[in-house]
Structure 1
Amino acid sequence: MLSAVAARKARLAQNQGQPAPQGTSKPASAPSPPASEPAPRKNSTPAKPTSSAQKPPSKRKPSAPAINPPKQKKPKSQHRKGAQEHSGRYFAQQDVFKAQDDVIVVDNDDNESSVATSSASSGDELPPTRTGGKRAWSPSAPLADSSDEDEDDEADEHVSLDVPQPHVPSSADAPKVLSTFQPAPDQNVFRLPSLGSSSQPKRTVLLLKASETVALLGVYSLTVLRGAVSFAGVSLRASTTAYPVFSPRSSPLPVIQCLRSAPSQDSALPLPALAAHIAEAVSHCDAAIMLQEMHTGIEGLGRICRTFDGFFAPSRWHRNQLMFDLGLDGVYFLPFHTPDITPLITPPGWTVAADTAVPERHQRAAIERHVYLVKGPKNAGKSTFARLVLNRLLCKYRRVAYLECDLGQSEFAPGGMVSLNIVEQPIFGPPFSHPTIPFAAHYIGATSPRSSPSHYLDCIQALIQQYELDVQNAPLDDEQAEDEHGRIVSSIPLVVNTMGWTKGLGADIARKVEDIVGPTAVFSLAGAGIEDDPSYAVSAASTSGHGAPRVHVIESVPPSPGASHHTAADHRNIAILSYFHAVFPPEPPLSPYASPIATSWSTALPLCAQPPYEVDWQAALDKLVLTGAGMEDVVPEEVPTALNCAVVGLVSCQPGTLDTKAPADGPSSLRLPYEQGAAPPLPSVSRCVGLALVRAISPSPKTVLQLLTPVPPHLLDPARVLVMGELQLPVWGMLDYRTLDGGGDVAGYERGKVPYLRWGKGEGAGGERRRVRRNLMRKGQM
């Protein structure tokens, strides 16, 4: 019997053209017979030797060789070199298979058989190579569920050990040092005493040199006392304005950077409490900023939505680091970069494009209409750039209008509605930190216009008309052309943020939106598909009658590494929960063109424990509309069941424009004013004042509806129409997070008594838990 090691050495010697190793008389060491010679048969009579050197030709056709010729392999040195590189690159630990006696090497070819070699005899150390196909079935690994086949197939098509993966920007690409500012008490850091009582917010002054940066985590207000700083892509100069800042770990962190200023600039904010040496130090710095703590209660949203728990406090990466204490509650100084912190980096092309689009002072009289449209695919930084344009415009205009067309990731209003907001101060924070009562809005009831594209376009058309008629050149409360800060008050520009659906039907809807808006400048983020060509905006706007816009193609920004911890659904959940727990000013604003922004958040009680409004639908409601996919099939008898724990839009209509039926007599008069298959009110004669949550519906014969809404009372009287869509309250909002250990007086609900949630088995077909058998093998696994 041939030795496997000897046969392998003989084949290598034959392939390299070297003589076979000598020193053995065994037939096993001889090279294998060529394919032209007949293979010896078992139990056959050996041929007699002849005196001639050559065998006489045989008339019998030679039989096929018993052993197939082996496949020619790479030389031992090259194979060993590639194996070593492969092992050193992907296996950091010592291979456990090397310690075994036998190693089985499986080639990638399906037709080739495996070759068993003895590593102890040959001295070759070949690590096991990974095949290109799927891994064979193993009894130690559970089988995949049939519902996951599509995801597994998609993942297997892109997995390869030898092909380098594309570079994805990570936390290593960002600067390691976030704060170059070196704090020194009583030298460049001064804590100001409280004004009056100890309950007043604490204040701290920082003196910065040119190009120094400061990264802060938490909730605070920023006031520039001297010089100028760059913050979130906006230049802030010395003024008495205090800018509220919300800087959580769930969003990119804005960094304060000192700009070089003239030494002759004096403090813009008088500070009588400063001592002489502090005033002397302020006069020698390039910029002086004052930080003041803010107690808004927004940190309590982390108790409600657990995926954002502790998002305004340092994580474990910073807890063990030596950090400087600023003396402000809820404000943390971050000197170094950590994997859970992503700084907000504005590309230079964004700043250049935003400055180019904003007209100069001598050009503002010639151009009366300023509409800036931002478009691009999802996850390209569209909302961040739209916020940058908004903040830069607020440095030159007293008020700026913002039209939100993205139903899923809205900036000021909760998802599911298109809104027109009037903003008066820059926004520094994620969308959930500034919920707003919009100037005008329309409720769609879904996170995408897929089910009602015509109604979506009609709502945008109505908002554009309202902006052109009532907002663009609205008479303000003062007749001056500029305010005390030199900002224009005679006109209000418009920023339009579009959705990220740019393929198929989404591309057609986006083009219709551009036709309706008629922008004067279009910012197209690179990465859009062919269907969303930026050059289309030129021809579209020229046909709309507003003239050809200036098209700026800018680079897109990939999602931050921290975005993987929170999905788009998580941000929608925190946004709608922030809206329902927000506290808005109870009185109407002084200016009719201002959109009230939430000043604080009430998170002491969950939604299930807050006192609701009790509404008699016979006296207070004129109509109930169900919109969305499948809503036209809901019969009137099932409306109370569908309306329980539903998110509805509060809509007010102009008098005489609502088509309602006369109330019926008898038992049918106790039903809700619902008409099956009815369309929502026309956007041209209606507006949505906000959202509400249907907490409960009293059983018949009562006609009481319990609603929870943060909308101020003076806006609820004209809202006599309820519109229910596809949006639902997140599960986090249904839970009661109060416990006795947390200091509350009332314990939370028991698990089986949580409203609108069913624990355990369900009822009806498909209500039970699905059972999956994992002990069956497919044909390819046998």
Structure 2
Amino acid sequence: MMSAHDSKRRKRTDAEAGHLSSEFVQAPNDFVCDRLSRNLRILTFTPSGGPAFSVVILGSNVSFLMSGKARLVHLLGAPIHILGASVKADVRVTHVLFSPISHAPITIRQLSTKESSNAVTKEALQRTISDVLSSVSPTMVDLIWEACTKMEPEVSVLLFLTYACRLTDSVCSVKKFKTLYTIQTDYSSPADAGIVSSLGFSFSLCDSSHGFRVSSEMVQLAEHFVALCEAHYESLSTEAMHSASRPPTLLVAGPKGAGKSSLLRFVINYFLTVGGAQSKIAVLDFDVGQPEFTPSALISLTVVQKPLFGPPFVHQLLGEPKPLCQCFVGCITPSDNPKFYVDCMHYVFGMYQSMPDPKPPLLVNTMGWTQGLGLTLLTEQIILVKPDIVAQLQLSADQPGVRQNLPVMDANSLRSMEGWHLRDLSDQEFNHQVAVIPSLSRSKHQSSVQSNLGAPDHRDLTLLAYFVATLANAPTSLPARGRNDPLGHPVAHFLDCLPYRVPLSCPNPTSSSSDNTDGSAVSELTELAEDDFRLGVCLIQPKSSLFRNPFELLTVDLGTLLTCLNATLVALCAVPPNLMELTNTTPPCKIIRENPVCKCVGLAICRAIDPSAGLLYLTTGIPDEDLLEVTGIIRGFVNLPQCFFLEQPIPIQSDGEPKPIQLPYLGPAETQGPGRISIPSRRSYPRTQHHEFHRTGSSEAYEHC
């Protein structure tokens, strides 16, 4: 049902477009036309026999915003600009756009072009629409063509289709993320809430306070980087240059909240769609707090070959691009173990150096920590990768966090600093250019972002998206579920997934597995390996008053070790055998006394333990062939998302008085024994400690139960 405001706006829009719609004497009832401006028209079709879709006719000198999620096909006309990417007309290519309320809406505008071939004809319009849509009526084509004739000759005809995805539906069933794709219909097209709900997206005009903003400095930076890359690959025609030169490298730095991720995606999209020298680019991500292509606590190297049209958690849902190499640091800030962080930096950068020639150009993403140790680590990163350009984002005086601005990171400034281990840099050679980019980030009251998600929530969202995507097609205890069936609440789905049974020790001959051993839980590792196969275990500097050394507890018993791993997030890694040693406990197990700098194969949820059999039950979506690389389990400081504990699918009786409910893994700290950890408090969740008693009533029944 339309609100009074929507109804008024609909009348105003129809009046503005009256000269257009009045000529459509045979316009069907399932057709809605909005004219948002002189050079922007939205035609929405809601056929009874198929899904709704919208056709956007875009002229020059106008930008519009898209909210929600959609599939975009550029049918005809001039190229368009989306988040730095130049998208040309091609009915064979479908772009998936994600514009949640947690980030600024996607801005789309037409690129100016002098090519006469961009003119739209009715015959070409009929042909291209028929190539994409299964059913096209002559009336539909007439309506679109009539709208094109009312505008300037150079227009872009864009087709927006609904995007149905069970992965995004599953993520949005979590209480904190229910409104990720909620669309406000005020001043948007279509204005009818029912139509917007069926589409899953809406459009509105762009203004100074909304959308993704692009500065001239950002464009100049991208153009300069593309020019360096083109010159580099042209020079590779000579054999001497091939052996001596290295690809151009761009390092992005700046304080927290300055827009480093946005600038990174802008340069990636511009390079892949405008620069013609290479069809791929490598991204080295040193930000363990909020990385672009992995969950938190990982340093990664990723090769990107397609434009990015969504925030980081979307990359996890789509499953691309996949990291070429990743190393588990186990924390969201290097301050927990800076030496281990630096070692992991060198390891992942070494993987880039070992790539075959010709290597792709390199983009480096850094942390937002710009003071003290953070500045020292940034200096070490510049020394390590030797960038050609340092793109330095600077906050203005009226923006929050201006005191966190970096000094200009040119050669003179760097030589006056101290490097890692107080190294003297006065004689160090620096040949990079510094590009100072004014930050376009808005303060909270100026931002168009409608979400109150903080950094911890974004980390939870990315990790949740990782497990939803990797476990979407995992074997479950529900044999009737098909590969395309809805997943439901992610926590309920994870509990349905069959875990892998992984040994940490050889059980005593006289002991047997406890009753919770599930015969359906299988491990490819135990089936393919020798009988004495055991995974090594590493606990990365656990913050606990129970012990000073991480492995003092390993001299106690295996059960204590298993307790420390139960209901936690662990990394499955390819740990070199020389870093492992066998304990003299009974039963023995393998431990990794030093934090291992090695390849991380993927992440897993420690679902349950069996102390008598020395078994872990791990839920992971890592492919079986990759699991064969795993030799060790690493537990860091990163916890599972809070919804894993607070939204467990426990039946709640609707009759009688509300009673306290004992959720698994939550309770008073003194009752849980060794291995307990604390869950950080959040504004949207009750103040809860891992294993703390959680009270709720029948009115708070979980919808997925």
Identify whether the pair has TM-score above 0.5, normalized to the shorter chain: yes
Distance 1:769 1:417 in 2: 26
Shift of 1:544: 11
Task: State whether structure 2 residue 383 is matched by structure 1 residue 465.
Answer: no
Counterpart of 1:214, as a letter, is: F
User: Are 2:188 and 2:204, in contact at CA under 8 Å, matched by a contact in 1?
Assistant: no
Task: State whether structure 2 residue 534 is matched by structure 1 residue 621.
Answer: yes
Distance 1:600 1:358 in 2: 44
Distance 1:306 1:332 in 2: 21
Shift of 1:703: 2.3
User: Are 2:69 and 2:163, in contact at CA under 8 Å, matched by a contact in 1?
Assistant: yes
Distance 1:616 1:691 in 2: 17
User: Are 2:107 and 2:212, in contact at CA under 8 Å, matched by a contact in 1?
Assistant: yes
Alignment partner, residue 370 of structure 2: 502
Partner-residue secondary structure (3-state), 2:198:
coil
Partner-residue secondary structure (3-state), 2:581:
coil
User: Are 1:323 and 1:335, in contact at CA under 8 Å, matched by a contact in 2?
Assistant: no
Distance 2:486 2:426 in 1: 46
CA 1:515–1:408: 2 relative to 1, 3 Å: same
Distance 2:42 2:60 in 1: 16
User: Are 2:71 and 2:95, in contact at CA under 8 Å, matched by a contact in 1?
Assistant: yes
For residues 632-671 of structure 1, the aligned pairs below 5 Å read 632-633=549-550, 634-636=552-554, 637=557, 638-653=560-575, 657-662=577-582, 668-671=585-588
Alignment partner, residue 329 of structure 2: 444
Distance 2:566 2:285 in 1: 29
Partner-residue secondary structure (3-state), 1:639:
helix
**Equivalent of residue 663 in structure 2, options 740, 754, 766:** 754
Alignment partner, residue 107 of structure 2: 255
Distance 2:645 2:99 in 1: 27
Shift of 1:646: 1.5
**Equivalent of residue 534 in structure 1, options 397, 409, 413:** 409
Task: State whether structure 2 residue 245 is matched by structure 1 residue 378.
Answer: no
Counterpart of 2:354, as a letter, is: L
CA 1:213–1:531: 2 relative to 1, 3 Å: closer
Distance 2:429 2:268 in 1: 22
**Gap regions ≥5 residues in structure 1:** 1-180, 474-490, 588-598, 742-748, 771-782
User: Are 2:70 and 2:160, in contact at CA under 8 Å, matched by a contact in 1?
Assistant: yes
Q: How many residues align?
A: 542
Partner-residue secondary structure (3-state), 1:224:
strand
Distance 1:532 1:621 in 2: 50
Task: State whether structure 2 residue 295 is matched by structure 1 residue 417.
Answer: no
Greater Rg by CA: 1
Task: State whether structure 2 residue 617 is matched by structure 1 residue 706.
Answer: yes
User: Are 1:260 and 1:286, in contact at CA under 8 Å, matched by a contact in 2?
Assistant: no
User: Are 1:191 and 1:327, in contact at CA under 8 Å, matched by a contact in 2?
Assistant: no
User: Are 1:538 and 1:551, in contact at CA under 8 Å, matched by a contact in 2?
Assistant: no
**Equivalent of residue 271 in structure 1, options 113, 118, 129:** 129
For residues 498-647 of structure 1, the aligned pairs below 5 Å read 498-527=366-395, 532-536=407-411, 548-559=431-442, 560=444, 561=447, 562=449, 565-583=452-470, 602-606=487-491, 607-618=494-505, 619-630=532-543, 632-633=549-550, 634-636=552-554, 637=557, 638-647=560-569
Superposed CA offset, 1:109-164 (max 9, x none): xxxxxxxxxxxxxxxxxxxxxxxxxxxxxxxxxxxxxxxxxxxxxxxxxxxxxxxx
Alignment partner, residue 511 of structure 2: none
For residues 330-369 of structure 1, the aligned pairs below 5 Å read 330-335=199-204, 342-359=210-227, 361=230, 364-366=233-235, 368-369=246-247
User: Are 1:190 and 1:204, in contact at CA under 8 Å, matched by a contact in 2?
Assistant: yes
CA 1:739–1:358: 2 relative to 1, 3 Å: same
Identity between Structure 1 and Structure 2 (%): 22
CA 1:505–1:608: 2 relative to 1, 3 Å: same
* Larger mean Cα displacement after TM superposition, 523-532 or 392-401: 523-532
For residues 166-315 of structure 1, the aligned pairs below 5 Å read 185=31, 203-226=53-76, 227-239=78-90, 240-261=92-113, 262-265=115-118, 270-272=128-130, 274=136, 275=138, 277=142, 280=145, 284=153, 286-300=155-169, 303=172, 305-315=174-184
Shift of 1:493: 1.3
Counterpart of 2:343, as a letter, is: D
Distance 1:198 1:564 in 2: 35
**Equivalent of residue 426 in structure 1, options 307, 330, 333:** 307
Distance 2:194 2:248 in 1: 45
RMSD: 4.3
Shift of 1:738: 4.9
Distance 1:401 1:586 in 2: 29
Task: State whether structure 2 residue 594 is matched by structure 1 residue 679.
Answer: yes
Shift of 1:193: 9.7
Q: Could you state the TM-score of these two structures normalised by the residue count of structure 1?
A: 0.61
User: Are 1:214 and 1:256, in contact at CA under 8 Å, matched by a contact in 2?
Assistant: yes
Distance 1:669 1:608 in 2: 32
Shift of 1:500: 0.9
User: Are 2:283 and 2:303, in contact at CA under 8 Å, matched by a contact in 1?
Assistant: yes
Shift of 1:575: 1.3
* Larger mean Cα displacement after TM superposition, 360-369 or 207-216: 360-369
Shift of 1:555: 0.6
Partner-residue secondary structure (3-state), 1:365:
helix
Shift of 1:299: 3.8
CA 1:679–1:364: 2 relative to 1, 3 Å: same
Counterpart of 2:350, as a letter, is: Q
Superposed CA offset, 1:457-491 (max 9, x none): 12121222211221552xxxxxxxxxxxxxxxxx5
**Equivalent of residue 732 in structure 1, options 620, 643, 653:** 643
**Equivalent of residue 456 in structure 1, options 304, 316, 341:** 341
For residues 154-169 of structure 1, the aligned pairs below 5 Å read none
